[in-house]
Amino acid sequence: MYWHISKLLHSLMLYIVPSPIGNLQDISFRAIEILKKVDLILAEDTRTSIKLLNHYQIIKPLSPYHQHNEHKVLQHLVNQLLDGKKMALLTDAGTPGISDPAFLLIRECIKVDVKVECLPGATAFVPALINSGLPTNRFAFEGFLPLKKGRQSLLKKLTEEERTLIFYESPMRLVKTLQEFVGYFGKERQCCVSRELTKVFEENKRGTLEEVTAHFAAKTVKGEIVIVVDGKK
């Protein structure tokens, strides 16, 4: 009886699977194997994930899991996991939980003794940090800044931060954010903006905040954006 219960608990599993941030070849053999063996794949956007799955000929049921429904479907997913269904969580790009939904589901799984296994893999801020040429020994990952409430107070606080700063931003808000950075951090502060990492048109623009802002203000910006800013000296 106890052996049966122990075996059942050991079989309860949620896999956190990083997906490529651009180039579909940037996925591990182990990640592909797990995606092939699970019963259900949770996807931030099923339309995006299906392209990855089709590329590797993986045919599995997909269920949406994103910031707009994660509270609503949480208990239903946990119940399925407790019934023995193995699941993998994918986001559109990178590692789930890094500026993408994952925390709520992982926390609940831990509470009910569902094993959580996170695979190593792609995340956009690491190559952006390395590419920047700025100090990598100490850094602060800030992700997406608040759009309104708390934005200015956070930026004011970060003006004293001595570690390298890393931000995510959308292409539509990039220039406005860089202009704010000029105002808070100073036009001479060094930075690097990485765009379309691992893709054909990858760009890493380095220079002062003033120079990089002027560069992107003069063009149409597309793709995923990572901003790396030097810390206060």
> If 0-12 CB within 10 Å is exposed, 13-18 middle and 19+ buried, where does residue 102 land?
buried
Q: What is the pTM of this model?
A: 0.90
Question: What are the E-state strand segments in 30-112?
Answer: 40-43, 62-64, 87-90
Please state the φ and ψ torsions of residue 229, each to the nearest 5 degrees.
Answer: -120, 135
**What are 68-94's pLDDT values in tens digits?**
999 999 999 999 999 999 999 999 999
Residue 12's pLDDT is what? 87
A 10 A CB-CB count for 223 gives 16
Which domains, and CATH codes, for the chain?
A: 2-118 (3.40.1010.10), 125-229 (3.30.950.10)
Task: Tell me how far apart the alpha carbons of residues 41 and 53 are, in angstroms, rounded to a whole number.
Answer: 10
- Residue pair 155/146 in contact (Cβ under 8 Å)? The answer is no
Question: What are the E-state strand segments in 123-233?
Answer: 139-144, 164-169, 190-195, 203-208, 225-229
Angle at which helices 70-82 and 103-111 cross, to 10°: 40
> If 0-12 CB within 10 Å is exposed, 13-18 middle and 19+ buried, where does residue 206 land?
middle
- Residue pair 193/92 in contact (Cβ under 8 Å)? The answer is no
Task: Tell me how far apart the alpha carbons of residues 54 and 222 are, in angstroms, rounded to a whole number.
Answer: 25
Q: Which portions of the chain are predicted below pLDDT 70?
A: 1-10
**What are 56-73's pLDDT values in tens digits?**
999 999 999 999 999 999
Q: Please give the order of strands across the beta sheet that includes 190-195.
A: 139-144, 164-169, 225-229, 190-195, 203-208
* Cα atoms in the 13 Å half-sphere on the side-chain side of 33: 4
Residue 11's pLDDT is what? 72
> If 0-12 CB within 10 Å is exposed, 13-18 middle and 19+ buried, where does residue 18 land?
buried
- Residue pair 208/181 in contact (Cβ under 8 Å)? The answer is no
- CA-wise closest residue to 96 among 29, 193, 18, 37: 18
